[in-house]
């Protein structure tokens, strides 16, 4: 599997970080995990073939995690030549279909019929979806919003876990146990800890409890720019730690 960070930031505007978006290549699957503001232009800058996306998986419904999704749908119809004809599968927590109906009322019926096949699939915590032969997506409940989930992508014996937004969770650590790479949010410094986000030390503790192979930190608010997040996480997690920047690439498993 390949993971490329498109957006390592948050809702806060930043000159160097766009809102959350992560690109995963696994077999025939081209998966976009979250789709925040600036994702598409950043993907184009990075040379990511965003137009080949096969699946989008949303962790929750805060706008910094899915606000660019209508832009993606529109761009797939009018921003490429030839226009898309293959199915795009949108995956999200329970409530996705209801949110989509509201979005269509706000933006127009084209949201439901963008000019190519669109499939909406809700995934509940504890469920697994087969995305393609040999590629599975798993979901687990996280303490952030009522619907928030973390995702795991399995392919070729490798497992990538993306926390989405979360607070500390022993259950999440157990569910993520043994993952090859833990992509964990790291929103705030340790002295500004809150229940629904992680700090560097908390992210490190999560990786340690999960016995993760590698820890990649993402989702940085501006206050994190003056903090050595990787060093702080490494004080409690003995494995490799990276504080992600937009564009960083990681190989997971054999390839």
Q: State the DSSP code for 115.
A: S
* Count of helix runs (H) and strand runs (E) in the chain: 7, 14
User: Going by DSSP bridges, is the β-strand pair 2-7/249-251 parallel, antiparallel, or unpaired?
Assistant: antiparallel
| CATH class assigned to 2-249 | alpha beta
- Alpha-carbon distance of 179 to 173, in angstroms, equals 10
User: Going by DSSP bridges, is the β-strand pair 135-141/149-155 parallel, antiparallel, or unpaired?
Assistant: antiparallel
CA atoms within 13 A on the CB side of 2: 13
* pLDDT band, residue 254 (cuts 50/70/90): low
- Alpha-carbon distance of 217 to 215, in angstroms, equals 6
* pLDDT band, residue 255 (cuts 50/70/90): very low
Mean pLDDT over each residue of the chain, to the nearest integer: 97
In the chain, where are the structural domains located?
2-249
pTM, two decimals, is 0.97
What is the dihedral sign for C-alpha 33, 23, 220, 201? positive
Three-state DSSP class for residue 222: helix
**pLDDT tens per residue across span 45-103:** 999 999 999 999 999 999 999 999 999 999 999 999 999 999 999 999 999 999 999 99
**pLDDT tens per residue across span 17-28:** 999 999 999 999
pLDDT of residue 210 exceeding 80 = yes
- Alpha-carbon distance of 187 to 241, in angstroms, equals 16
**pLDDT tens per residue across span 87-143:** 999 999 999 999 999 999 999 999 999 999 999 999 999 999 999 999 999 999 999
Q: State the DSSP code for 116.
A: S
Supply the pLDDT for residue 253.
Answer: 87
Where would I find the H helices in the chain? Answer: 39-46, 63-66, 69-78, 96-107, 170-176, 200-210, 229-234
- Alpha-carbon distance of 123 to 138, in angstroms, equals 8
The candidate with the shortest Cα–Cα distance to 233, out of 196, 159, 182, 195, is: 182
DSSP assignment of 126-183, as one string?
T-EEEEETTEEEEEEE-SSSSS-EEEEEEETTEEEEE--S----HHHHHHHTT-SEEE
- Alpha-carbon distance of 152 to 163, in angstroms, equals 9
- Alpha-carbon distance of 128 to 151, in angstroms, equals 10
């Amino acid at each position: 599997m390949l993971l490329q960070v498109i957006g390592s930031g948050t809702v806060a505007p930043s000159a160097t970080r766009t809102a959350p978006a992560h690109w995963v290549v696994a077999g025939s699957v081209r998966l976009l995990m979250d789709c925040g503001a600036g994702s598409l232009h950043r993907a184009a800058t990075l040379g990511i073939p965003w137009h080949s996306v096969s699946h989008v998986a949303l962790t929750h419904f805060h706008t910094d995690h899915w606000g660019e999704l209508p832009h993606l749908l529109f761009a797939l119809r009018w921003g490429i030549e030839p226009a898309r004809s293959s199915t795009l599968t949108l995956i999200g927590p329970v409530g996705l279909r209801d949110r989509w109906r509201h979005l269509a009322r706000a933006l127009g019926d084209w949201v439901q019929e963008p000019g190519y096949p669109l499939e909406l699939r809700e995934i509940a915590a504890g469920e697994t979806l087969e995305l393609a032969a040999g590629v599975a997506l798993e979901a687990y409940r996280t303490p952030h919003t009522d619907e928030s989930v973390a995702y795991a992508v399995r392919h070729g014996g490798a497992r990538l876990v993306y926390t989405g937004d979360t607070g500390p969770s022993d259950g999440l650590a157990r569910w993520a146990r043994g993952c090859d790479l833990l992509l964990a949010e790291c929103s705030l410094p340790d002295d500004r800890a809150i229940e629904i986000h992680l700090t560097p030390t908390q992210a490190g503790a999560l990786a340690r409890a999960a016995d993760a192979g590698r820890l990649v930190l993402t989702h940085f608010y501006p206050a994190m720019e003056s903090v050595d997040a990787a060093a702080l996480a490494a004080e409690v997690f003995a494995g490799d730690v990276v504080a992600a920047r937009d564009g960083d690439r990681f190989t997971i498993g054999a390839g």
